[in-house]
Amino acid sequence: MLIGRVIGEVWATQKQPSHEGRKVLYVQPLALDGSDRGQPILALDAVDAGVSERVLVVTEGFSAMTAVDRPNSPIDMAVIGIIDTVELVKDA
Amino acid sequence: MLIGRVIGEVWATQKQPSHEGRKVLYVQPLALDGSDRGQPILALDAVDAGVSERVLVVTEGFSAMTAVDRPNSPIDMAVIGIIDTVELVKDA
Amino acid sequence: MLIGRVIGEVWATQKQPSHEGRKVLYVQPLALDGSDRGQPILALDAVDAGVSERVLVVTEGFSAMTAVDRPNSPIDMAVIGIIDTVELVKDA
Amino acid sequence: MLIGRVIGEVWATQKQPSHEGRKVLYVQPLALDGSDRGQPILALDAVDAGVSERVLVVTEGFSAMTAVDRPNSPIDMAVIGIIDTVELVKDA
Amino acid sequence: MLIGRVIGEVWATQKQPSHEGRKVLYVQPLALDGSDRGQPILALDAVDAGVSERVLVVTEGFSAMTAVDRPNSPIDMAVIGIIDTVELVKDA
C-alpha cells in the first residue's frame, strides 16, 4: 500500500462494465514528509475520495478487485481509504 | 493503470490461442504533461485502439486476462479504454 | 520478502472490513548492514509488531491476504514475522 | 509483455516436475531500436525458441503458468512467441 | 526467475505454519558475468540449498507457493533449483 494525494480524474471510453460508476483517479504518491514521491498513478476509486484528499492505495490486481467488490475485473490499483492520521516514531 | 499512446504493433508467431484475433500494441507511457515516460510496453488490445490514440492500460496479469475475457491466458497487460479527458487540479 | 524496521502507524477511514482490528504499519526496508534501503512502505500487521522492531514483510497480494487469513481482501503487503537473527556468511 | 533476444540457456538441478522437458532461457530485453534494455532475464520456453531469435516474453506468474499449460507451477516468466514483424508509426 | 548466490539465513519468530521446516535464505542476485546485481533478497528454500551455492529463484507469489507445495501461504519468493551450468552464446 502507499499514501498519495488525489490530483485529478480521468474519463475514458470504457468497454469494461467493472469500471462503470467508479471514478478513475490520478494519485500522486507521497513521501513520509508529505513531498511528492515519483510519478502519479491511476487507481479505481472504492471510497468516493475527493480531489486533494490524502488516500490509501492498494497496488495489486487481485487485491484491488476485491476492494471494489468486482472480482475478475481489469483493475490493478484501487483507493481503499482516506487517511486520518500518520504517526511516526523518532529514532525508531 | 497507466495512460499511454499507441505507437505501433507487433506480429509474432503465436502458439497461444488466447492471442488470436487480438492485436499486440506497442504503447508509450505518458507523463502528466503528455511527454514520454519511460520505455514503451507491449499490451494486448481489448478495445480496438488505433495508432496515435491515448489509451488506458491495465498492467497486471489476472486483471489483463479478464479485460479480454480470456482467463487462464498468458496475458500480462491489456489496453482497456480510450482516453476522452484528463482533468487535473492545480494546487491539489 | 524483505526485512524492515517498524517506524510508525497509519490511521485511515477504512471502508474495508478486512482491515478492521489490524494495524497499518509504516516499515522502513533495511539493507544487509542495517542501514535504510529505499523508501518506507505500508503493510498490514499480522503478528502484532511494535515500533522499532525488525520484521519480515511479504510483498505480494495473494500472499499477504493469506498471512492475515483474509482471502479476497485488498491487502498487498503484510508483516508476517519478527526477526530473531540474521546470519551472513563472509566470502559466500 | 516485452521483446527480447535469446542469448543462452541455463541447466539446473530442478526439483520441480513442471520444468521437466522445458528449457530455461536467458533473454536480453530489447529497446525499440533493437539495442539492449536493462539486464537479461530468465524465462521458461513455451515455443521451442532458439538462440538469437527475437521472442515475446510474458512476465507475470499466473500468465506464464498457463502459457506452458502447467497451472500451479513455480513459473514467473515464459517465452510465448517468436517475433515476425514490429511496425512502428513515426510521429504517433 | 533469476540466478543468485546464497549468502545467509534469517531466523524469525514466525506465526505462519507455512514457513515451519523451511529455511529463509538471503540470496544475492547475480549478473551474467557472476558479479553482484542489486540488493540481496529473501526467499523460502524449496530445494535445501546451502550457503555459497548458485540457485534459481522464482519471484512471484503464487508461483513461489506452489514451489513449496503450500498454496495459500504468505510466500512471495522461493529457491526452486540449484544451478549446474549456464551457457551463453557470443554475438547472439
pLDDT in tens, E29-43: 999 888 999 889 999
pLDDT at B92 over 80: no
Q: What is the mean pLDDT of residues D13-30?
A: 83
In this model, does residue D90 exceed pLDDT 80?
no
- If you count residue pairs, one on A and one on C, with CB atoms under 8 Å apart, how many are there? 98
CB distance C63–E73 less than 8 Å?
Answer: yes
d(CA A18, CA C2): 34
Question: What average pLDDT score do residues C21-37 get?
Answer: 91
What kind of architecture, by CATH, is found in domain D2-10+22-82?
Answer: Beta Barrel (2.40)
C-alpha cell at C78: 503484510
Tell me: pLDDT of E72 over 80: no
Residues E32-59, mean pLDDT to the nearest whole number: 91
**Quick one: pLDDT band at residue B4, thresholds 50, 70, 90?**
very high
Q: Grid coordinates representing E41?
A: 533478497
- DSSP designation for B75: -
Higher pLDDT, D92 or B69: B69
Give the H/E segment covering residue D6.
strand D2-14
Subunits with 3+ C-beta pairs closer than 8 A to B: A, D
Q: Are C12 and A78 in contact (CB under 8 A)?
A: no
For cell 474519463, name the residue: A11
Contact E63 D76 (CB under 8 A): yes
Question: Average per-residue pLDDT in chain C?
Answer: 86
Burial of residue D40 (CB within 10 Å: 0-12, 13-18, 19+) is: buried
User: 3-state DSSP call for residue A81?
Assistant: strand
**What sign does the CA torsion over D16, D22, D24, D28 have?**
negative
CATH number of A2-10+21-82: 2.40.50.220
Considering Cα of E79, then B62, then D60, then D69, what sign does the dihedral take? positive
Domain boundaries, chain B: 2-82
Residue of D18, D20, D42 to mutate for E, most E C-beta atoms under 10 A: D42
Tell me how long chain D is: 92
Cβ contacts (< 8 Å) between D59 and chain E: which residues? none
SS3 sequence, chain E?
CEEEEEEEEEEEEECCHHHCCCCEEEEEEECCCCCECCCCEEEEECCCCCCCCEEEEECCHHHHHHHCCCCCCCCCCEEEEEEEEEEECCCC
Residues of chain C with pLDDT > 70, as a percent, come to 95
CATH number (2.40.40.20, 2.40.50.220, 2.30.40.10, 3.20.20.10) of E2-12+19-82 reads 2.40.50.220
Predicted confidence band of residue D91 (pLDDT cuts 50, 70, 90): low
In which band, very low, low, confident or very high, does the pLDDT at A92 lie, cut at 50, 70 and 90? low
Q: Which of D81, D76, D79, D49 is nearest to D65 (CA)?
A: D76
For A74-78, C23-27, D54-58, which range has the lowest pLDDT when averaged over its residues?
A: A74-78
Residue A22 has pLDDT above 90, yes or no: no
Instruction: Please tell me what DSSP assigns to residue C19.
Output: G
pTM reported for the whole predicted model: 0.85
Residue B35, chain D, CB below 8 Å: the answer is: no
Distance CA C30, CA C86 (A): 12
Q: How many CB atoms lie within 10 A of CB A35?
A: 8
Output the CA–CA distances (angstroms, integers) from residue A67 to B81, B85, E56, in the order listed: 21, 25, 34
pLDDT at site A36: 93
What are the two backbone dihedrals, phi and then psi, of residue E79, each rounded to the nearest 5 degrees? -85, 115
D47, D80 in Cβ contact below 8 A?
yes
- The residue among E55, E51, E54, E74 whose CA lies nearest residue E64 is E74
The angle at the Cα of C64, spanning A38 to D57, to the nearest 5 degrees, equals 65
Q: Would you place residue B91 in the very low, low, confident or very high pLDDT band (cuts 50, 70, 90)?
A: low
Residues B2-82: name the CATH superfamily.
EutN/Ccml (2.40.50.220)
Which secondary-structure segment (H or E) carries D43? strand D41-45
Q: Cα dist. A50→A5, A23, C66 in Å?
A: 9, 10, 31
Per-residue model confidence as pLDDT tens digits over A42-67: 999 999 999 999 999 998 877 787 77
Residues of A in contact with C74 (CB under 8 A): 46, 58, 63-64, 66-67, 78, 80
C30 and chain E in contact, CB less than 8 A: no
Comparison of pLDDT for E74 and E46, the residue scoring more? E46
If one compares E86 and E92, the residue with the highest pLDDT of the two is E86
Q: Residue A17 to residues A73, B57, B61, B76, D70: CA-CA distances in angstroms?
A: 9, 16, 18, 20, 30
What mean pLDDT, rounded, does chain D reach? 86
B42-59 pLDDT per residue, tens: 999 999 999 999 999 998
- Chain B hits for D87, Cβ within 8 Å: 8-11
Query: Taking Cα atoms as reference points, which of A44, A14, A46, A48 lies closest to residue A27?
Result: A44
Task: Say if residue A82's pLDDT is above 90.
Answer: yes
Chains in contact with D, where contact requires at least 3 CB pairs less than 8 Å apart: B, E
Query: In 3D, which of C27, C3, C20, C13 has the Cα closest to residue C81?
Result: C3
Q: Fold for C2-11+21-82, please state it.
A: OB fold (Dihydrolipoamide Acetyltransferase, E2P) (2.40.50)
For D45-54, what is the mean pLDDT? Answer: 93
CB contact under 8 A, E81 and D15: yes
Task: Write the Ramachandran bin of A51: left for phi over 0, alpha for psi from -120 to 50, otherwise beta.
Answer: beta
Give B43: exposed, middle or buried? Use CB within 10 Å, 0-12, 13-18, 19+: buried
Say how far apart CA C83 and CA C56 lie, in whole Å. Answer: 6
Share of chain A above pLDDT 70, in %: 95
Q: Does pLDDT of A70 surpass 80?
A: no
In terms of CA atoms, which chain A residue is nearest residue C72?
A66
Straight-line distance from the first to the last Cα atom of chain C, in angstroms, rounded to the nearest whole number: 21
Average pLDDT over residues D55-82: 83
> Is a pLDDT exceeding 90 seen at residue E82?
yes
